[in-house]
């Protein structure tokens, strides 16, 4: 450990950049502390606990988060203003009053190791801090060292964001409180010193002449994913107390090793190389480098951005915790934008597009766990709302619908997004079709798909010509409310299609399966408009203020009616070339200006990739590096900050490199000119396959298709197709000839 610290200090002194994976710089680094936590601080997390590292010199602020710290409740009337919001837990403040006039400052986040660092020099002494959030031990860790003994004197403060008092108990700080909704919470900090002394003044921990210092943070609430228990569980004190004492009994080196083993078990599944950046690009700190990358291709920064999405999902979505919200896990406000909630019309879904293809399937489990825990409340809200009367005039009796936003207590807000229930079903099916877990399909996915299909079986409207439409629907967040909007039609088609496939996979419910297949085939499908566009509504729309103006000038942020292209697969170049061309006309007309936001660029990257257009997909990706679309810490910037673009762009890059729809694996379907040479290992595709690829001069040189499901493997590269049944554990290898 001492050798490692000396090495890092030497790197600091020399101004060296970072560790590397596959020749890729996986380090975000800066030459100054953060001043705006959510936009500039470096994020760490273990699924439940998060920290934003500002890296101040004489006073370091770490914004603390706990994923279940929410206001609000059931919110039966759907009033968005009373739904509640995700809260900030508090601040961990490290005061070092003698550390002024620092030189050789550097702050970084190594996403390949899940370690953040701050280093600087004061009066000839080199100071170094290392930060991580351990899932293995359930604590956030800060380790402070120096190259001269006795150099640390100062104080530690734990500041509650809701006004509760913090009590110092010897070497510990204890903060506990209760929100207005009755939710109990607690955070503890313990200080462990080498050399020097510790004391407290009743509210802060004081340290004097220490050689090094290790701080451990544990936190929790009494939230439980249990409707029957009103979403409450045991008081958090016992769990928090046990967790911090167990961690304190270990050495810093042991905590770090356990953290690294846990993190690498997820992160190392996928490696990516997109080519070499120039020395001039690599030499720039991240805040400068990202802006330059918006104008000139920086392949290693694009690799970093891809892996950053994976890093963030590992950090904020682990089994047993809550899923990533609008800000993932991180929040520096008790009045966050859009309540930092779960938005069901694109945002929460986009958070999880990467989970299956980017080889992080376990990180999707919190999404299913939360949704399943909310169903009793959502059923009750739906089945008592007159908006969901069936054709016979009765209230809904089967299934549920969602409003646009929801919290973690069964409460929902804003307007109904009627087919969001079916979009959620896409994720249940994707988790099965990528991994092949029949137990998950039987016990979790199929019950959800079937119940949602029953809801739509009861609520579809029959047109005079016999076609079925979703009534009174909306194309989020755009246009009128009317029957048969393409967004809803496509999502219900996807639901029915996947329900049929799920019943077939399980060999159950043949009569019901056949009925749903019949309904699917009667659904109205999107039409093509007068200028070749895919219609967003059943009839073509014009601007009422200017009848000569059509939707070619509509640069709206949403592309809701292109769901059937991605993430759905109802429309594809291979199966429905005419509709695919209409979708591309629409996508091009939507453009990249005006109302387009960070997450819009991520979705459009994936859409262009599905349409086989690698250069336009890359153009969308590259725009995310501008200061208009990402923060200095590379968080997405709507504005303000939200995280779905970070996750969505990782999924979009997966789609550029390999796709698994239409019953085949398509290799390099949207490779842009900007990536002439590269390789990727560990991407997953539907059917139970993992893919490794290498290419040179824009052409595939080798591919290895690894089977985890034992199914038929049909592989396409351009016009070449091969099909072979692979046993579990076997690999299909293609060399450069692809014979």
| Domain boundary assignment for the chain | 2-72+87-268+277-287, 341-525
Note the pLDDT of residue 736. Answer: 56
pLDDT tens-digit series, residues 197-240 = 999 999 999 999 999 999 999 999 999 999 999 999 999 999 99
The mean pLDDT of 250-258, rounded to a whole number, is 98
Look over the chain and give the mean of its residue pLDDT values, rounded to a whole number.
Answer: 93
Alpha-carbon distance 612 to 56, whole Å? 46
pLDDT tens-digit series, residues 157-197 = 999 999 999 999 999 999 999 999 999 999 999 999 999 99
The mean pLDDT of 540-556, rounded to a whole number, is 65
- What is the separation, in whole angstroms, between the first and last Cα of the chain? 51
pLDDT tens-digit series, residues 303-352 = 999 999 999 999 999 999 999 999 999 999 999 999 999 999 999 999 99
pLDDT tens-digit series, residues 372-417 = 999 999 999 999 999 999 888 899 999 999 999 999 999 999 999 9
Note the pLDDT of residue 550. Answer: 53
Task: Work out the number of other CB atoms within 10 angstroms of the CB of residue 265.
Answer: 12
The mean pLDDT of 53-64, rounded to a whole number, is 98
Of the candidates 602, 607, 605, 657, the residue with the CA atom closest to the CA atom of residue 634? 602
Alpha-carbon distance 396 to 190, whole Å? 53
State percent of the chain over pLDDT 70: 94
Per-residue confidence at 20, pLDDT binned at 50, 70, 90?
very low
In this model, does residue 155 exceed pLDDT 90? yes
Report the Cα 428 to chain-centroid distance in Å. 16
In this model, does residue 634 exceed pLDDT 50? yes
* Residue matched to tokens 């103006």: 549
Give yes or no on whether 2-72+87-268+277-287 and 341-525 have one common fold: no
Of the candidates 662, 706, 668, 699, the residue with the CA atom closest to the CA atom of residue 684? 706
Q: H/E element holding 133? A: strand 125-134
Note the pLDDT of residue 545. Answer: 60
Q: Tokens standing for 149?
A: 């003994």
The mean pLDDT of 283-303, rounded to a whole number, is 97
- Is 422:399 a contact under the CB 8 Å cutoff? no
Note the pLDDT of residue 13. Answer: 39
Q: H/E element holding 430? A: helix 420-435
Note the pLDDT of residue 506. Answer: 98
- Reported pTM: 0.95
Note the pLDDT of residue 9. Answer: 41
Note the pLDDT of residue 546. Answer: 52
Phi-psi label, residue 328: left if phi above 0, alpha if psi -120 to 50, beta otherwise: left
Encode 406-430: b = buried (16+ Cβ within 10 Å), e = exposed. Answer: bbbbbbbbbbbbbbbbbbbbbbbbb
The mean pLDDT of 477-496, rounded to a whole number, is 96
Does the domain at 2-72+87-268+277-287 match CATH 2.70.98.50? Answer given as yes
686 contacts: CB under 8 Å, gap ≥ 6: 430, 433, 434, 660, 661
Alpha-carbon distance 495 to 346, whole Å? 16
Encode 303-337: b = buried (16+ Cβ within 10 Å), e = exposed. Answer: bbbbbbbbbbbbbbbbeebbbbbbbbbbbbbbebb
In this model, does residue 692 exceed pLDDT 80? yes
Of the candidates 244, 59, 74, the residue with the CA atom closest to the CA atom of residue 159? 59
The mean pLDDT of 528-542, rounded to a whole number, is 90
Note the pLDDT of residue 544. Answer: 60
State percent of the chain over pLDDT 90: 88
In this model, does residue 96 exceed pLDDT 80? yes
CATH class of 341-525: mainly alpha
In this model, does residue 589 exceed pLDDT 60? yes
Alpha-carbon distance 66 to 39, whole Å? 19
Q: Tokens standing for 655?
A: 């789609």
Alpha-carbon distance 590 to 299, whole Å? 27
């Amino acid at each position: 450990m001492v050798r490692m610290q000396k090495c890092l200090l030497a790197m600091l002194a020399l101004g060296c950049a970072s560790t590397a994976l596959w020749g890729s710089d996986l380090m975000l680094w800066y030459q100054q502390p953060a001043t705006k936590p959510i936009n500039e601080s470096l994020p760490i997390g273990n699924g439940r606990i998060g920290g934003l590292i500002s890296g101040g010199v004489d006073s370091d602020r770490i914004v603390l988060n706990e994923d279940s710290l929410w206001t609000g409740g059931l919110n039966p009337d759907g009033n968005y203003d009373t739904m509640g919001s995700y809260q900030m837990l508090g601040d961990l403040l490290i005061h070092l009053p003698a550390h002024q006039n620092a030189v050789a400052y550097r702050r970084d986040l190594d996403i390949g190791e899940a370690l953040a660092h701050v280093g600087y020099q004061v009066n000839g002494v080199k100071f170094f801090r290392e930060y991580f959030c351990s899932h293995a031990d359930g604590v956030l860790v800060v380790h402070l060292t120096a190259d001269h003994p006795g150099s640390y004197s100062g104080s530690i403060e734990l500041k509650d964001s809701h006004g509760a008092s913090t009590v110092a108990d010897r070497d510990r700080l204890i903060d506990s409180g209760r929100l207005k909704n009755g939710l109990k919470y607690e955070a503890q900090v313990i200080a462990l010193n080498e050399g020097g002394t510790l004391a407290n003044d009743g509210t802060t921990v004081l340290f004097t002449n220490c050689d090094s210092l290790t701080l451990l943070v544990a936190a929790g609430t009494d939230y439980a994913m249990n409707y029957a228990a009103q979403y409450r569980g045991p008081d958090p004190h016992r769990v928090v107390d046990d967790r911090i004492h167990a961690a304190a009994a270990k050495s810093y080196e042991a905590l770090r090793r356990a953290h690294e083993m846990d993190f690498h078990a997820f992160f190392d599944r996928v490696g990516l190389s997109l080519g070499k950046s120039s020395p001039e690009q690599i030499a720039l700190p991240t805040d400068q480098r990202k802006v330059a990358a918006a104008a000139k291709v920086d392949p290693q920064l694009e690799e970093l951005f891809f892996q950053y999405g994976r890093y963030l999902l590992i950090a904020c979505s682990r089994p047993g915790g809550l899923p990533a919200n609008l800000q993932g896990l991180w929040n520096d406000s008790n009045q966050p934008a859009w309540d930092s909630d779960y938005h069901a019309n694109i945002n929460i879904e986009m958070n999880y597009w990467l989970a299956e293809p980017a080889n992080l399937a376990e990180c999707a489990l919190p999404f299913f766990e939360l949704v399943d825990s909310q169903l009793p409340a959502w059923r009750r809200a739906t089945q008592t709302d007159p908006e969901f009367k069936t054709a016979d005039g009765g209230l809904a009796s089967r299934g549920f619908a969602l409003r646009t936003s929801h919290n973690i207590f069964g409460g929902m807000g804003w307007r109904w997004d009627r087919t969001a229930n079916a979009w959620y079903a896409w994720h249940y099916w994707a988790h099965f079709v990528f991994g092949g877990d029949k137990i998950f399909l039987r016990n979790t996915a199929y019950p959800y798909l079937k119940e949602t299909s029953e809801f739509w079986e009861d609520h579809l409207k029959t047109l005079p010509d016999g076609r079925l439409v979703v009534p009174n629907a909306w194309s989020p967040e755009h246009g009128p409310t009317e029957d048969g909007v393409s967004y809803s039609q496509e999502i219900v088609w996807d639901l029915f299609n996947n329900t049929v496939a799920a019943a077939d996979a399980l060999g159950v419910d043949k009569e019901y399966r056949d009925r749903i297949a019949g309904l699917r085939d009667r659904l109205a499908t999107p039409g093509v408009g007068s200028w070749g566009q895919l219609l967003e509504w059943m009839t073509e729309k014009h601007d009422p203020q200017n009848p000569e103006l059509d939707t070619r000038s509509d640069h709206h942020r949403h592309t809701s009616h292109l769901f059937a292209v991605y993430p759905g697969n109802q429309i594809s170049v291979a199966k429905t070339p005419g509709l695919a061309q209409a979708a591309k006309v629409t996508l091009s007309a939507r453009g990249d200006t005006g109302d387009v936001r960070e997450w819009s660029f991520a979705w459009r990257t994936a859409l262009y990739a599905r349409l086989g257009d690698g250069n336009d997909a890359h153009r969308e990706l590259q725009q995310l590096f501008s200061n208009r679309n990402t923060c200095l810490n590379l968080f997405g910037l709507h504005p303000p900050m939200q995280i779905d673009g970070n996750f969505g762009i990782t999924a979009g890059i997966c789609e550029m490199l390999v796709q698994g729809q239409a019953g085949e694996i398509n290799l390099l379907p949207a490779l842009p000119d900007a990536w002439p040479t590269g390789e990727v290992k560990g991407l997953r595709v539907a059917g139970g396959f993992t893919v490794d690829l290498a290419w040179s001069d824009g052409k595939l040189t080798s591919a290895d298709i690894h089977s985890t499901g034992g199914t038929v493997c049909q592989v396409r590269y351009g016009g070449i197709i091969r099909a072979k049944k692979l046993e579990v554990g076997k690999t299909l290898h293609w060399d450069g000839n692809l014979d």
